[in-house]
């Protein structure tokens, strides 16, 4: 039998092992197993810092046996008294730093023969605590060879200095994974190399077989480094080739052109009460020119909160409407969709009165479609969308449903892209007869490497300045435990209200029945809006008009509250992060964020963008229990120290897990990107982008490199069936 990466593990490993690998770790083929990389490498003599182990964690640690003691054990429970009497073996192991951990074994005294002082081993189990000491009860373990050169000694598997530690399960501890990997590596010593050979040679990358061997059983740190580099290159190049090909394919598609200008856009521009910022002018011109082409636009518009993206989008929509097309605006929440609808209708004035008596001839209709609309409310809206009388259609996910048919969808605008996957963007695009133009707007500043990966198939524009007349936001961290500061915080809110302005109070949690299980970490649950609003009403902010907003209110109530707040009928809005994106009340000047350390950096930056949108200075107070010097407090200090959204986004990325970054935007990428770090491998990503572009230009179908083409097709398919639609 020839064994390849496609061979099923059942055919090369024992049935039991193969089944456990499949069930516990989802590994079915030789290729799956060889792609299951160690997540770290233990070393004899390493400092694991046993003291930092968390109770309840499943761990695998490298440690040295220090002592073994046998004790008699009498169970306390009456039932088994007499019968369950037995022997308890306690083994003390320690790491190089001298921190120790107790292992306990019941009625397995024979183990003291092998667990002798001085031996190093890997020990795996769940961390428990007994009388203040950390212990592993009946751990699984594997002793390491006495020394690397000692052929007769215990486990050949661990003769190397770097011991692979795999993501594992109780049934399949790391050393059994290692054993299976060893077997399979022996059967598939040199799998076909998917990387184009000329590129691999030019860049001096290890061949595939060597790289796989060295990532699993490294001969040295140098080899491990070279193996990682080679495998990262493969991940990056495949990913970039998918994106470059997608971009090339859509550049070749035919779209309806919408010439620049047009009656409704000109009428709108003529009544705009302010001048466009230089950035709005420039980006607006780019977009206008692209809409006029016969190929679909795919553009990402980045701009900090309040930079005026919506206006840019509206002008693009009007250009399309002016020439008989329709534009759809997809918003992430009902609150935002309703707000867009309101503010766009307001900005348009009678230009939104299309079909009504006395409206200007160039006027159109602006409709709102959300999931909460009743069938009776939807019918006229759906009609207007189908017949084309509605030029601008604003909505949530409800726009994606079957039964929403457009007469002539020419432009899709997606607001706050990070809430939507590529699949949704494409589902809406699929509703158009020809590929529509697409504009994606995001207020989350995106670091360069992320833009190149997650949004690698889009052109990007940035709005870097805020419209004139915007006031800076001052941000301060307030220690929750400091009475004086807290008192000052609430009196600042009262002062704002007394001056006729408004404020937000933000909490991490809704409250009521959603209490999180605080689990073993014994932290109190995050503060909840439903509790805080009562407390503030009764005490700190008594006499002020308080409103409550969170995601579990029904949409009509949400809308009612937002309207009341926008109209100035509410002084202080106590809310969860539903107010995070896009909410625009220029009279709101102050924000208090409670339990601020529970929010991410970018999230806090977004939140504070809700204040200081008018001509008065904005104030944001981040209330937290985090002590000075802790990472949590440092994040808050960072937010307080700068209003540069891009700098904060880079910081945020450092603190998040890679998978979260990629996974949020593109589900399929996750399983293909195992080693590549968006943050640390910026060089590889940028270089592979250039290589991918050259490859695709020279050979669009990648006919010269079928092995590589297969990987590219796999990833493209995993990214969702919508991708190649249209």
Rg (CA), the chain: 31
Closest CA to 95 of 134, 58, 129: 134
Residue (443 or 588) nearer to ligand ADP, CB: 443
How far apart are CB 307 and ligand ADP at their closest, in Å?
A: 4
Query: Between β-strands 120-130 and 133-137, what pairing exists: parallel, antiparallel or unpaired?
Result: antiparallel
**What minimum distance in Å lies between the beta carbon of 274 and ligand ADP?**
4
Helix (H/G/I), strand (E/B), else coil: 722: coil
Instruction: Show the site string, 363-392: x = touches Mg ion by CB under 5 A, - = not.
Output: ------------------------------
Q: Of the two residues 279 and 354, which places its CB atom closer to ligand ADP in the complex?
A: 279
Of 302 and 424, nearer to ligand ADP (C-beta) is: 302
Site string for ligand ADP, 606-645 (x = CB under 6 A): ----------------------------------------
Scanning 170-178, 211-219, 306-314, 356-364 for contacts with ligand ADP by CB under 6 A, the matching segment is 306-314
- Residue 337 has a CB neighbour count (10 Å cut-off) of 27
Residue 256 or 580: which CB sits closer to ligand ADP? Answer: 580
Q: Where does this chain touch Mg ion (CB under 5 A) — which range of 3-11, 42-50, 86-94, 574-582?
A: 574-582
> Nearest-CA neighbor of 60 among 124, 121, 120, 103?
124
Question: Of these partners, ligand ADP, Mg ion, none, which one is at the site of residue 280 (CB under 5 to 8 Å by kind)?
Answer: ligand ADP
Q: Nearest-5° angle of CA 590, CA 644, CA 278?
A: 95
Q: How far is the CB of 273 from ligand ADP (least distance, A)?
A: 8
Q: Minimum Å distance from CB 635 to Mg ion?
A: 24
Count of residues that bind ligand ADP according to CB under 6 A: 15
Instruction: Please give the DSSP secondary-structure letter assigned to residue 270.
Output: H
SS3 state of residue 136: strand
Non-local (6+) Cβ contacts of 104 within 8 A are: 88, 89, 90, 91, 135, 136, 137, 138
Closer residue to ligand ADP in complex, CB, 440/669:
440
Region from 31-39, 76-84, 303-311, 484-492 binding ligand ADP, contact rule CB under 6 A: 303-311
For ligand ADP, the closer CB: 279 or 547? 279
Of 29, 310, 417, 624, which one interacts with ligand ADP (CB under 6 A)? 310
With contacts defined by CB under 6 A, name the span among 33-41, 57-65, 292-300, 302-310 that binds ligand ADP. Answer: 302-310
Task: Give 3-state DSSP helix, strand, coil % of the chain, rounded to 5.
Answer: 40, 20, 40
The answer to whether residue 306 forms part of the interface with ligand ADP (CB under 6 A) is yes
CB closer to ligand ADP, 196 vs 308: 308
Q: Which range touches ligand ADP (CB under 6 A), out of 85-93, 240-248, 298-306, 713-721?
A: 298-306
Residue 308 binding target from ligand ADP, Mg ion, none, CB below 5 to 8 Å by type:
ligand ADP
* Smaller CB separation from ligand ADP, 299 or 309: 309
Of 582, 614, 618, 726, which one interacts with Mg ion (CB under 5 A)? 582
Selected from 109, 467, 555, 568, the binder of ligand ADP by CB under 6 A is: 467
Instruction: Choose from Mg ion, ligand ADP, none: what does 572 bind? Cβ within 5-8 Å by kind.
Output: none
Q: Closer to ligand ADP by CB, 60 or 277: give it.
A: 277
Closest by CA to 675, choosing from 202, 38, 161, 181, is: 38
Q: Does 48 bind ligand ADP (CB under 6 A)?
A: no
Exposure string over 79-101, b if 16+ CB within 10 A, otherwise e? eeeeeeeeebbebbbbbeeebbb
Q: In 294-447, where do the E strands start and end?
A: 298-303, 326-330, 365-369, 390-395, 409-415, 437-442
Cα separation, 688 vs 670, in Å, equals 18
Token pair, residue 373, equals 């609309």
Q: Which of 196, 218, 308, 612 binds ligand ADP (CB under 6 A)?
A: 308
Asked whether the beta carbons of 341 and 396 are under 8 A apart, the reply is no
Q: At 722, list the tokens.
A: 């919508």
User: Which residues 6+ apart lie within 8 Å of 161 measured at CB?
Assistant: 43, 44, 148, 220
Computed from CA positions of residues 126, 128, 134, 138, in that sequence, does the dihedral angle turn out positive or negative?
negative
How buried is 663 (Cβ within 10 angstroms: 0-12 exposed, 13-18 middle, 19+ buried)?
A: middle
For ligand ADP, the binding residue among 38, 262, 303, 456 (CB under 6 A) is 303
Can residue 584 be called a binding residue for ligand ADP (CB under 6 A)?
A: yes
Q: Tell me, what DSSP letter sits at residue 471?
A: P
**Nearest CB to ligand ADP, comparing residues 443 and 678:** 443
- Per CB under 5 A, contacts with Mg ion among 301-340 are 310
511 binds, among ligand ADP, Mg ion, none (CB under 5 to 8 A by kind): none
By CB under 5 A, the count of residues binding Mg ion is 2
Nearer to Mg ion, 322 or 344 (CB): 344
Whole-angstrom Cα distance, residue 37 to residue 212? 9
Interface region with Mg ion, contact rule CB under 5 A, candidates 242-250, 581-589, 627-635, 642-650: 581-589
Determine the Cα–Cα distance for residues 86 and 89; give it in Å rounded to an integer.
10
Shortest spacing between CB 310 and Mg ion, in angstroms: 5
Q: Which stretch binds ligand ADP (CB under 6 A): 54-62, 299-307, 374-382, 502-510?
A: 299-307
Sole window of 16-24, 181-189, 200-208, 300-308 interacting with ligand ADP (rule: CB under 6 A): 300-308
Interstrand relation of 618-624 and 473-479 (parallel, antiparallel or unpaired): parallel
The 8-class DSSP code of residue 444 comes to S
Considering the complex, what minimum distance in angstroms separates the CB of residue 352 from ligand ADP?
Answer: 15
How far is residue 165's CA from residue 168's CA, in Å, rounded to a whole number? 8
Interactions with ligand ADP, residue window 223-282 (CB under 6 A): 274, 276-277, 280
Residue 609, interface with Mg ion (CB under 5 A)?
no
Which one, of 251, 258, 247, lies nearest residue 287 by Cα?
A: 258
Q: Which is nearer to ligand ADP, 342 or 635 (CB)?
A: 342
Give me the least distance between CB of 403 and ligand ADP, in Å please.
Answer: 30
- What is the enclosing helix (H) or strand (E) of 11? helix 9-12
In angstroms, give the least distance from the CB of 582 to Mg ion: 4
Nearest-angstrom CA–CA distance, 510 and 574: 10
309 binds ligand ADP (CB under 6 A): yes
Q: What is the 3-state secondary structure (H, E, C) of 180-245?
A: HHHHHHHHCCCCCCCCCHHHHHHHCCCCHHHHHHHHHCCCCHHHHHHHHHHHHHHHHHHHHHHHHH
**Which of Mg ion, ligand ADP, none sits in contact with 311, Cβ below 5 to 8 A by type?**
ligand ADP
Minimum distance, C-beta of residue 284 to ligand ADP, in the bound complex (Å): 10
Binder among 195, 227, 443, 592 for ligand ADP (CB under 6 A): 443
Tokens coding 599? 């929010």
Q: Rule CB under 6 A: which residues touch ligand ADP? A: 274, 276-277, 280, 303, 305-311, 443, 467, 584
Catalog residues that contact Mg ion under the rule CB under 5 A.
310, 582
């Amino acid at each position: 039998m020839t064994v390849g990466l496609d061979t099923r593990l059942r055919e090369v490993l024992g049935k039991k092992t193969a089944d456990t690998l499949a069930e516990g770790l989802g590994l079915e083929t030789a290729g799956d197993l060889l792609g299951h990389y160690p997540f770290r490498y233990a070393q004899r003599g390493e400092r694991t810092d046993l003291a930092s182990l968390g109770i309840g964690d499943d761990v695998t640690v490298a440690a040295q046996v220090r002592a073994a003691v046998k004790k008699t054990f009498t169970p306390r429970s009456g039932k088994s008294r007499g019968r369950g009497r037995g022997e308890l073996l306690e083994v003390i192991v320690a790491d190089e730093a001298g921190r120790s951990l107790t292992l306990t074994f019941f009625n397995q005294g024979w183990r003291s023969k092998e667990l002798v002082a001085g031996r190093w081993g890997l020990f795996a189990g769940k961390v428990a605590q007994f009388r203040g000491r950390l212990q592993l009860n009946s751990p699984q373990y594997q002793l390491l060879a006495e020394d690397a050169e000692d052929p007769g000694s215990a486990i050949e598997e661990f003769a190397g200095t770097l011991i692979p530690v795999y993501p594992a399960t109780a049934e399949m501890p790391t050393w059994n994974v290692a054993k299976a990997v060893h077997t399979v590596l022996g059967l598939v010593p040199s799998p076909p190399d998917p990387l184009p050979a000329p590129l691999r040679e030019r860049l001096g990358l290890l061949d595939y077989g060597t790289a796989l061997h060295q990532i699993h059983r490294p001969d040295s740190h140098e080899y491990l480094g070279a193996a990682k580099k080679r495998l990262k290159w493969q991940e990056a190049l495949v990913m970039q080739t998918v994106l470059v090909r997608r971009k090339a394919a859509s550049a070749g598609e035919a779209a309806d052109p919408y010439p620049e200008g047009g009656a409704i856009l000109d009428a709108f521009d003529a009544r705009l009460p302010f001048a466009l910022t230089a950035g709005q002018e420039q980006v607006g011109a780019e977009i206008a020119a692209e809409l006029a082409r016969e190929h679909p636009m795919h553009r990402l518009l980045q701009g900090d909160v309040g930079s005026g993206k919506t206006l840019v989008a509206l002008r693009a929509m009007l250009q399309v409407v002016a020439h008989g097309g329709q534009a759809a605006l997809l918003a992430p929440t009902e609150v935002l969709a309703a707000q867009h609808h309101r503010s766009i209708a307001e900005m348009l004035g009678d230009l939104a009165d299309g079909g009504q008596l006395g409206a200007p001839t160039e006027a159109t209709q602006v409709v709102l479609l959300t999931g909460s609309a009743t069938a009776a409310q939807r019918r006229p809206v759906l009609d207007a969308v189908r017949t084309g009388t509605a030029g601008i259609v604003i909505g949530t996910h409800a726009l994606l449903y079957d039964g929403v048919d457009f007469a002539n969808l020419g432009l899709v605008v997606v607001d706050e892209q990070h809430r939507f996957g590529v699949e949704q963007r494409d589902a809406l695009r699929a509703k158009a007869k020809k590929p529509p133009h697409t504009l994606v707007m995001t207020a989350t500043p995106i670091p360069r490497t992320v833009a190149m990966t997650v949004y690698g198939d889009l052109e990007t524009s940035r709005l870097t300045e805020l419209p004139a007349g915007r006031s800076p936001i001052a941000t301060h961290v307030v220690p929750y435990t400091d009475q004086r500061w807290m008192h000052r915080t609430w009196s600042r809110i009262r002062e704002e209200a007394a001056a006729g302005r408004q404020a937000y109070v933000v909490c991490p949690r809704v409250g009521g029945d959603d209490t999180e299980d605080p689990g073993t970490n014994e932290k109190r649950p995050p503060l909840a809006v439903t509790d805080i609003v009562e407390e503030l009403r009764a005490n700190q902010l008594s006499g002020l008009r308080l409103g409550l907003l969170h995601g579990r209110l029904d949409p009509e109530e949400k809308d009612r509250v937002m309207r009341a707040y926008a109209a100035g009928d509410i002084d202080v809005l106590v809310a969860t992060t539903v107010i995070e994106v896009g909410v625009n009340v220029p009279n709101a000047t102050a924000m208090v964020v409670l339990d601020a350390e529970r929010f991410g950096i970018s999230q806090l930056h977004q939140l504070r963008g809700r204040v200081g949108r008018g001509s008065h200075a904005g104030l944001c107070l981040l209330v937290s229990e985090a002590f000075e010097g802790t990472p949590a407090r440092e994040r808050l200090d960072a937010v307080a120290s700068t209003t540069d959204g891009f700098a904060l986004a880079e910081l945020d990325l450092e603190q998040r897990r890679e998978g979260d970054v990629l996974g949020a935007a593109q589900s399929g990428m996750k399983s293909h990107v195992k080693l590549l770090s968006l943050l640390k491998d910026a060089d590889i990503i940028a270089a592979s982008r250039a290589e991918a572009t050259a490859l695709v230009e020279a050979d669009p179908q990648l006919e010269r490199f079928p092995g590589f083409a297969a990987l590219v097709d796999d990833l493209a398919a995993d990214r969702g069936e919508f991708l190649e639609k249209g």
